[in-house]
């Protein structure tokens, strides 16, 4: 069970009291009895870059400014040194506008074919794949004791992921401390919120770890690498292309991370095995049951 000390480690943590994140829906269970189930909400958010409409994403509606900023940055439409002059969110119109001092090259980006793995917006490949050739991730060491501590803390943190399922969580971490926990119906939205927060706060990526509850797909690997984060970990599994790209860019890729177990399919040279797995607690039954609902 989460403690106040655990929650106090976060700079941003899930806020289950936030209005409109979920609602109760009546249903009938397998025995024909009435059942009330809490389900996650989703709503459209249209993102503009200056006067150009870019995309409409389905999202839970929290942190729209970070989502828009991170999406544009991760799609290559907004460079790290872009002079962002303002971000405006209109809740009634469900739009967010990111304004820059000068025009960008987004027109060419919009001509690229979009491929996704089935969650939310996905990733525009094209230039992003070419941009991976210029990615040089730092050789920051990662202690396995940090990974075990992070998994235990994150799995005990109150969240929509544990409360209602059907959602993905992504957590930015430094060493054994979780810093920013974002959730959304698409794993790409959750990581874009993290990217937007990092860009807004000018946070360095070199010493960070990205933890996700979702699958380790090519899009997740590309976005993590393009953000400059050297380590991506998940309680879920891998896709073959995700592994190939991680190996190509030298990203440490850790999956199936549950209790004392994990598998590293790329970047094992960063791992410092300073923890004895035999001394690590197994994952609780509640975490296993709830975790499978995402």
**Does 104 reside within a domain?**
yes
What pLDDT does residue 191 have? 95
Domain-ending residue, one of 95, 125, 155: 125
Q: Read off the CATH number of the domain in which 81 is found.
A: 3.10.20.10
Instruction: Write out pLDDT tens, residues 224-258.
Output: 999 999 999 999 999 999 999 999 999 999 999 99
What pLDDT does residue 106 have? 65
What are the C-alpha distances in Å from 182 to residues 29, 223, 290? 31, 15, 18
Residues near 161 by Cβ (< 8 Å), separated by ≥ 6? 14, 167, 168, 169, 183, 213, 290, 291, 294
**Does 220 reside within a domain?**
yes
Q: What is the mean pLDDT of residues 159-186?
A: 92
- Closest listed residue to residue 206, CA positions, set 138, 134, 131: 138
Instruction: Write out pLDDT tens, residues 17-55.
Output: 888 888 899 999 899 999 998 899 999 999 999 988 999
Considering the domain architecture, whether residues 199 and 272 belong to the same structural domain is answered as: yes
**Does 7 reside within a domain?**
no
* Rounded CA separation 107/257 (Å): 40
Q: Would you state the structure tokens that stand for residue 251, as one six-digit string? A: 């990203």
**Does 26 reside within a domain?**
no
Q: Read off the CATH number of the domain in which 284 is found.
A: 3.40.140.10
Considering the domain architecture, whether residues 158 and 78 belong to the same structural domain is answered as: no
Residue-number span of the structural domain to which 147 is assigned:
137-291
Considering the domain architecture, whether residues 118 and 141 belong to the same structural domain is answered as: no
**Does 28 reside within a domain?**
no
DSSP code string of 59-94: E-SSSHHHHHHHHHHHTTSS-TT--EEEEEEETTTT
**Does 36 reside within a domain?**
no
CB 168 within 8 A of CB 142: no
Considering the domain architecture, whether residues 110 and 157 belong to the same structural domain is answered as: no
What pLDDT does residue 115 have? 44
Tally of domains in the chain: 2
* Rounded CA separation 294/244 (Å): 25
Per the prediction, the chain carries an average pLDDT of: 86
Considering the domain architecture, whether residues 145 and 120 belong to the same structural domain is answered as: no
Considering the domain architecture, whether residues 141 and 108 belong to the same structural domain is answered as: no
**Does 116 reside within a domain?**
yes
**pLDDT grade, residue 81 (50/70/90)?**
confident
Considering the domain architecture, whether residues 152 and 114 belong to the same structural domain is answered as: no
Which comes out higher in pLDDT, residue 133 or 68? 68
209-213, 230-234, 284-288: range with lowest mean pLDDT = 284-288
**Does 13 reside within a domain?**
no
Domain-ending residue, one of 125, 156, 182: 125
Q: Where are the beta strands (DSSP E) in 208-291?
A: 208-212, 231-234, 252-258, 261-266, 271-272
CB 61 within 8 A of CB 21: yes
**pLDDT grade, residue 166 (50/70/90)?**
confident
Degrees to nearest 5, angle at CA 165 with 160 and 166 = 110
Considering the domain architecture, whether residues 169 and 258 belong to the same structural domain is answered as: yes
Burial of 110 (0-12, 13-18, 19+ CB in 10 A): middle
Considering the domain architecture, whether residues 166 and 278 belong to the same structural domain is answered as: yes
Considering the domain architecture, whether residues 189 and 240 belong to the same structural domain is answered as: yes
pTM for the complete prediction?
0.87
**pLDDT grade, residue 118 (50/70/90)?**
very low
Domain-ending residue, one of 125, 159, 192: 125
Considering the domain architecture, whether residues 155 and 234 belong to the same structural domain is answered as: yes
Considering the domain architecture, whether residues 113 and 146 belong to the same structural domain is answered as: no
């Amino acid at each position: 069970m989460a403690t106040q000390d655990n929650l106090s480690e976060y700079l941003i943590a899930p806020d289950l009291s936030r209005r409109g994140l979920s609602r109760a829906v009546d249903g009938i269970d397998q025995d024909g009895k009435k059942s009330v189930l809490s389900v996650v909400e989703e709503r459209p958010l249209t993102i503009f870059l200056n006067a150009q409409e870019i995309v409409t994403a389905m999202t839970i509606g929290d942190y729209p400014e970070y989502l828009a900023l991170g999406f544009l940055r991760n799609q290559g439409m907004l460079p790290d040194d872009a002079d962002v002059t303002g971000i405006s969110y209109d809740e009634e119109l469900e739009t967010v506008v990111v304004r820059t001092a000068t025009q960008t090259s987004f027109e060419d980006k919009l001509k690229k074919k979009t491929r996704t793995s089935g969650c939310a917006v996905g990733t525009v490949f094209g230039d992003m794949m070419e941009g991976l050739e210029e990615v040089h991730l730092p050789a920051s060491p990662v202690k396995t004791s940090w990974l075990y501590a992070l998994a235990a803390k994150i799995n005990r943190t109150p969240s929509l992921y544990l409360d209602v399922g059907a959602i993905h969580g992504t957590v930015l971490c430094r060493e054994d401390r979780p810093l920013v926990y974002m959730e959304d119906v698409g794993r790409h939205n959750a990581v874009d919120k993290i990217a937007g927060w990092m860009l807004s706060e000018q946070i360095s990526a070199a010493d960070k770890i990205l933890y996700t509850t979702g699958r380790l797909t090519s899009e997740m690997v590309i976005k993590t690498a393009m953000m400059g984060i050297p380590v991506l970990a998940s309680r879920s599994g891998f896709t073959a292309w995700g592994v190939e790209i991680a190996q190509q860019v030298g990203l440490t890729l850790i999956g199936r991370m549950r209790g004392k177990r994990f598998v590293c399919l790329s970047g094992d040279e960063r791992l410092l095995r300073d923890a004895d797995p035999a001394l690590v607690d197994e994952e609780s039954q509640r975490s296993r049951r709830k975790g499978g609902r995402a």
